[in-house]
Amino acid sequence: MRGNALRLAAADVRLVARDPLLLIMPFVPFLAAFALRLILPPLSAFIEGATGFNLLGYATLVRVVLILFPGTFYGMVAGFLLLDDRDDGVSAYWSATPVGRAGYIAVRLALFSLAAFAAGLAIGPILGIGSAGPWRDAGAAFLGAGQTAFFALFLAAVAADKVEGLAILKAMSGLDIVPLAILLPLPARALAWAFPQYWAAELLAGDAPFAGGGSSPYLALALGAVASVAWIAVLAAKYRKRID
């Protein structure tokens, strides 16, 4: 079983390497983090000098958004691979493989989720601002990795093809700003509680001055994990119906 899983993972890596669009996606979060590392300090100094507003005072919030990026982009890659397999009829033969349909999907999602977690851990040091501590970064990266399965299953369950998938991704990009809900007062903030991205912001920045206090970071991590599992369970069921 382990050998079959490794072969499936290696096959997915080869598929990504052959597609220029999919190949560039895993590097986008790193490019964004590096660019913001160079741009934000001078931009913040300029804005503060002109208006008195300290942009770097919100650096922790910027950090959580960037740490969540790998889950989004790696989920896109996994979702497009699931779409290709569904459109090509390959998914119909998964049950005949040694790992079975559930095992095949689990290997693919686990591969990209682990990659997203590792990338999320690397994003913070690359960005270099807004540190809330290593364990909080790791917790945010964990919640970000949960987004991988969310985006992948959502694309595969809803999109009819890759073209429609790209359109759906544009709409789903709004989830990238869910962490900003931490700036809102209650009850408006409660609208974001259903999304793990919000709890990642609570985890890293919930006790920051701009957040006005917040939940315990341990509670935020737990609630984020529950939200991730709930979304993944619903989308997995919808995806199974789509391919049956």
Mean pLDDT by 10 residues, the chain (244 residues): 64 78 88 92 89 86 92 90 74 59 79 93 90 88 93 84 75 82 85 91 78 75 94 88 73
Tokens of 183: 């700036």
Which phi and psi angles does 208 have, rounded to 5°?
-75, 155
Contact at 8 Å (CB) between 129 and 57?
Answer: no
What is the reported pLDDT for 2? 57
Rounded Cα distance, 113 and 122, in Å: 14
What is the reported pLDDT for 67? 94
Contact at 8 Å (CB) between 117 and 23?
Answer: no
Rounded Cα distance, 31 and 53, in Å: 26
Rounded Cα distance, 132 and 64, in Å: 10
What is the reported pLDDT for 238? 86
What is the reported pLDDT for 156? 83
Please state, as a whole number, how many other Cβ atoms lie within 10 Å of the Cβ of residue 199: 31
What is the reported pLDDT for 213? 55
Rounded Cα distance, 37 and 59, in Å: 11
What is the reported pLDDT for 114? 93
What is the reported pLDDT for 159? 77
pTM for this model (two decimals):
0.88
What is the reported pLDDT for 94? 58
What is the reported pLDDT for 119? 95
Residue 100's contacts (CB-CB under 8 Å, 6 or more residues apart) are: 94
